[in-house]
Chains A and B, each alone.
Chain A
Amino acid sequence: MYLQFKNFRTTNEVLYALAAVDKYAATPVSKIGLQKILYLATSFAPIREIILSVLRYTRWKKGPYSYLVQNTVDQLVAYGLAGVSDFQMINRRSALASYQITTGGQSAVQRLRMYAEENDKAWWIDCVTKLVVIYSKEDLLSGDETYDGIDKIVRLVYMDKSFRKVHEHYGASIDLKDEEGDTHKVISFVKEFLASDQNFQNIEEKVLTELILLAFFEQLYAQYYLEKQHGRS
C-alpha cells in the first residue's frame, strides 16, 4: 500500500514520537502531551543540529500548539498508523483524545529508520520523549493534579525560554526557526563553550548530545522548582 501525505516529514516525526511514547511509557498519549514532545524536540533541535518540520507554534491553552501536528495525527489515525484509545467530548468545540501507535505504524517507523537522516530524527525524538517520560514522573510534577501522565510536562515547557517570551500573549506565534531565538542562542553559547573544553572532547557524540539535552531538562526543572517556591507557578 502506498500512502501519500502532503506533509510527509511531519507525518514521520509524529510517528516517531508515538513510537517513543509506546516504548518508554507504554500508554496512549493525549494531543497535549504529543504537542509538547514535538515542541521540545524542535526547540532543542539545535543541540543535535537537525531541523524538524514544524517550526511554528502558537501560544494556546496549555502551552504551545500546532494545528499541523494535530491534523497530522488525525491523518495517521485515518490511515491506520495510529489508533484513538480514548475519546471524550468536552463541549461542542473541543474533545479529548489519546493516541497510540499501531502495529502498522511501528512497521512504518522501522522502514523509515533505514534511511540515515530519518534514523537520526527518530533517535532525537526518541531521546526527547524518554526525558519527557522521566521528568513527567518527577516528584514536583507527579503531584500536579491538573494534568495526567505525560501531559504533566506542560509545566516544564512553560519554563522554556522561547515560550516564556510569549507566555502572557495568548495566540502569539513562536518561531523556532529563528536562529536568534532565545533557546537557540542559549544552545549556541553552550555548544561553543563545550567545543573548547577538553574534558568533553572524548565523549561519544550521541552520549554528549543526550547529556546536553538532559542538562536543558534539568534547567527547566530547576526553574520550575524555584517558581513554585516563590509561588509564581
Chain B
Amino acid sequence: MEEANQVLKFLHQGLTAKLVLRGLSTSPGDSHIFWMRLLTLFQDDSYVLNREKGPIVFIVNTKSNSGSSDAIDPSFLKDFFEKGRHSISNVIYIDNSGKLIQPAKDFEKLKLQNISEVCEDSSKRSQDLFYVFVKGNEVQFVHNQIPFYSVMDFFSMNDRIGNITGKLPVQRYRTIIEGHYNDEVDREKGFFYWEVKADWKLMGSPEEHFRKHLANYIKANIADGYVDEEVPNAGTSDRPDIRIIEFSSRQVYLIEIKWAGKSVKTTYDANEKANQGINQLHTYVKANNDCARGVLVFYDARKDKMDVVWSPTIPDWDSRIDPQPFIFSLDPTNASTKAKIEVASATKARGGKSTKANKKR
C-alpha cells in the first residue's frame, strides 16, 4: 500500500517525528512550522552571503518560551554576522518558538566548529536542549551527543520529498547502493571525501562521511521501509552502520561500511578491514532473528588496488550475508581527467581493444 508506506516513512524518518520520539516536541504542528522557518532562513541572503564566515549553531531550549526577539529572522541573522557577534560566538540560543534567550552567559564566547564539538558540548548540558548545526548547505540536528537528523543540501527538496516517497523496494538494495556510488561517490557530486588528492589521502573519519551520505541516499530512494543509523542491533550493544526495516515484513537489512587506504589520521589495510566487516556482520545477523540480509559496503581508496583475500572464504559465510560484497574503487583523478580517460578507453574499444575501466570491481 503505497500511501501507507509513505506515511510510515515520514513517521520514522521525518524531522518532526524524530523530535517527538526524542521527547523534544509536544506539538508536531508547531515543530513543523519551526523547521520550515529555519529552512527559509538558511535559504535567505542573510545566511547565504555570510556562510563563508563559518558555521552557526542554534541551541534550542525546548522547555522555554521566555525568549524575547525573533532570532529566526533575516535581519537578526544579518546583524549576527555583520556586527561581529559571529566572530565571538557562533551560538544562537533560542526558545521553542525561535525567540532569543538572553542573557545566555554560557554561550557568550562559545564557538562550535564541527559536529564532534557540538556532540561533546551537548553532553555537558541539559537534555531539554537540541542543537542545529549549520555549515555550508548542510544542517545537522544533535541531541544528547547523538546527531539524529541531517540534511545534506537545504536548497534541494530531495530531503523533504525523500522522507515520504521513494522508487525502489528494500529488496532492490543492490541497485540503490550501486546508484549511490555511481551518482554521488564516483562523480564526487555534492560529496567531497578527499583531503589531499595528490597523496590519495581521504579526509578525517571517512567511514562516518560514507555512512551519512549512503544512509541519506537510501532514505530518499527506498519506497517500502525506513532507514536509521548506528542504532543498537536487536537489544545488543552492537551498532551496525545502517539498518533498513521493511514495513510489510518487518525484515531487517544491515549494512556495514568499511574503507581501506589513507586518511588524514590513519592508514587501513584492505584485507584486515574488509574481513573485519564480514566478521561484524556475522555477529549482527546471528543476534537478529529478523535480519534478512547483512551487506558489506567497502570503499577502496588504495592507489595500488589488489583483490581482497576473504577469510573465512565466501562459501563459509552465514547464508544471510550477501555473498557479493560491494567493493567500490575510489580514485582521486579529477572529473575532467576521468572523462578524458573514458573517451580514450572508448576510442580504443572501437579500435577492437577492450579497455574496460576498473572503476567498480
For A164, the closest partner residue in chain B by CB is B3
Report A204-216 CB contacts with B as 1/0, cut-off 8 Å.
1001101111111
For A225, the closest partner residue in chain B by CB is B161
Q: Using A185-B1, A219-B10 as known contacts, say yes or no to A214 and B32 having CB atoms under 8 A apart.
A: yes
Contact B164 A161 (CB under 8 A): no
Contact A214 B29 (CB under 8 A): yes
B234 interface hit (Cβ, 8 Å): no
For B247, the closest partner residue in chain A by CB is A193
Partner of B28, one of A161, A193, A199, A211: A211
Q: Using A186-B1, A211-B11, A214-B16 as known contacts, say yes or no to A222 and B28 having CB atoms under 8 A apart.
A: no
A149, B240: Cα distance in complex, Å:
47
Stretch of B19-27, B103-111, B307-315 that contacts chain A? B19-27
CB distance from A167 to the nearest CB of B (A): 15
Contact B20 A207 (CB under 8 A): yes
Contact A134 B1 (CB under 8 A): no
A96 interface hit (Cβ, 8 Å): no
Contacts of B36 in A (CB 8 A): 138
Contacts of B7 in A (CB 8 A): 186, 190, 212, 215-216, 219
Partner of B16, one of A186, A193, A194, A211: A211
Partner of A189, one of B4, B20, B165: B4
Partner of A203, one of B6, B20, B32, B33: B20
Contacts of A199 in B (CB 8 A): 21
Which size bracket describes the interface of A in this complex? 20 to 34
Which size bracket describes the interface of B in this complex? 20 to 34
CB distance from B77 to the nearest CB of A (A): 20
For A206, the closest partner residue in chain B by CB is B26
Contact A190 B29 (CB under 8 A): no
Contact A211 B20 (CB under 8 A): yes
B17 interface hit (Cβ, 8 Å): yes
Contacts of B164 in A (CB 8 A): 218-219, 221-222
A204, B11: Cα distance in complex, Å:
15
B198 interface hit (Cβ, 8 Å): no
Contact B20 A218 (CB under 8 A): no
B14 interface hit (Cβ, 8 Å): yes
A226 interface hit (Cβ, 8 Å): yes
A130 interface hit (Cβ, 8 Å): yes
Interface residues of A in 154-171 (CB under 8 A from B): 161
For A208, the closest partner residue in chain B by CB is B20
B160 interface hit (Cβ, 8 Å): yes
CB distance from A87 to the nearest CB of B (A): 32
Q: Using A186-B7, A215-B14 as known contacts, say yes or no to A222 and B32 having CB atoms under 8 A apart.
A: no
Contact A222 B21 (CB under 8 A): no
Contacts of B306 in A (CB 8 A): none
29 contacts between A and B (CB under 8 A): A134-B29, A134-B32, A134-B33, A161-B3, A189-B1, A189-B4, A190-B7, A190-B8, A193-B4, A194-B8, A194-B11, A204-B26, A207-B27, A208-B20, A210-B27, A211-B20, A211-B28, A213-B28, A214-B10, A214-B29, A218-B14, A218-B163, A219-B6, A221-B164, A222-B6, A222-B160, A222-B164, A222-B165, A226-B165
